[in-house]
Structure 1
Amino acid sequence: LIDRVTRLTYKHFDTPSLVEWVFVLSQQPEQEAKDLALDMELYVEGSLDIFSHRTNIKTDSHFLIYNVKKLGDELKQIALMVIFDQIWNRVVKNQKLGKKTWIYFDEMQLLLLDKYASDFFFKLWSRVRKYGAIPTGITQNVETLLLDANGRRIIANSEFMILLKQAKSDREELVHMLGLSKELEKYLVNPEKGAGLIKAGSTVVPFKNKIPQHTKLFDIMSTDPEKMRI
């Protein structure tokens, strides 16, 4: 049924949206089609119709930001699926053009809270590198990654990492996973701001990159609410 409706939709509409797809679905003779179309009403005409229409964003821009912060739980899963699909399509397109794609996932632990999103995210993370993309994950909550099977695989398969101060339980797990020595572990116990460890392949070195206050770089990069300038 789903396959038939999709084929018919693309046969009759050049650039169909979810609205056209549900319309074609509602015209099918099966009762299951009528029931599914009714279930989809909330996402097509109701209060959760945010993804049912054509985008008004210029998706071929060189710099794109996807923000799901204000989305409720009802829409977050489908939002992540749409975003991951958009990212994948852009990576494939850029690869054909001989371009690299840099992808940054801030608060990446939130992408692992839902199992379906977690599986999709791991597949995306694993595949894009083969297509000339460079995915970077950013998190202040390593525990969530360590508790998720996909999160652990992402950490284990990442060639480059920057590690800052870690809580005791997280630190011990990372030391075990990455094979860090006791001497290197000390740099994750209570380092000063801007200091920690850099892991590049099998090489791990301590680093210190303190940015002086009252500089433009500090104003741009600081996330300390007490020191941020508006």
Structure 2
Amino acid sequence: MKVFQNRVDAGRALGQRLHVLLGGGGDLVVLALPRGGVPVGFEVARMLGVPLDVFAVRKLGTPGHEELAMGAIATGGVAVLNAGVVRRLGIPEAAIAAAVEREARELARRDQLFRDGRPPARVEGRTVILVDDGLATGSTMRAALRALRQQGPARIVVGVPVGAPETCASLQGEADAVVCLYTPEPFFAVGQWYEDFTQTTDDEVRELLARAAHGDGAVQEAL
């Protein structure tokens, strides 16, 4: 059974829930994980009337099986490893270091590309809503959480339309609050709960961030 038509539909549903829980405006800011989290985050930010920015994170693919995450790296140089995957597959430290170096370069490139010269959103002392289009293993979100903590936000709220039940539960210990609209079982992949899960492009991310920065709809506060 599909739950959402697309990421826009999912973002609006998530925005409605977060508006009930958090209200809008004030010290809130939405940080979306690129690329798929940005269309979701854009709708959340519109509904809450708060700023939108990206928080760049890159998956660390397992050598020879890149689709399997052995961890993730986030802005600020924070790397989170999936110890179970690393141990089970016997991944050597040299391979991990090479993956971290490679993805760090790509992360820096995308960070510059997406913002078009705009400075990062101010997060110190604010409530940050960290948004993605879904949670599977949680490696990417966990890396983002730990990196974001270093910037001194008052609270971090993780918000996703759909997630694996065990992953949403495990993040409760790292975030101040976790909002997963749907936690279906069995859970195989995020995309199975969307009618349209077409990959979000870099150009789409740049367009949405530019629209948010220029006050599109309810997104009116400057970063």
- TM bin, normalised by shorter chain, reads under 0.3
Task: Identify, as 1 or 2, the structure richer in helix.
Answer: 1
TM-score (norm 2): 0.25
Q: Which has the higher contact order (CA 8 A, sep 6+)?
A: 2
Task: Identify, as 1 or 2, the structure richer in strand.
Answer: 2
TM-score (norm 1): 0.25
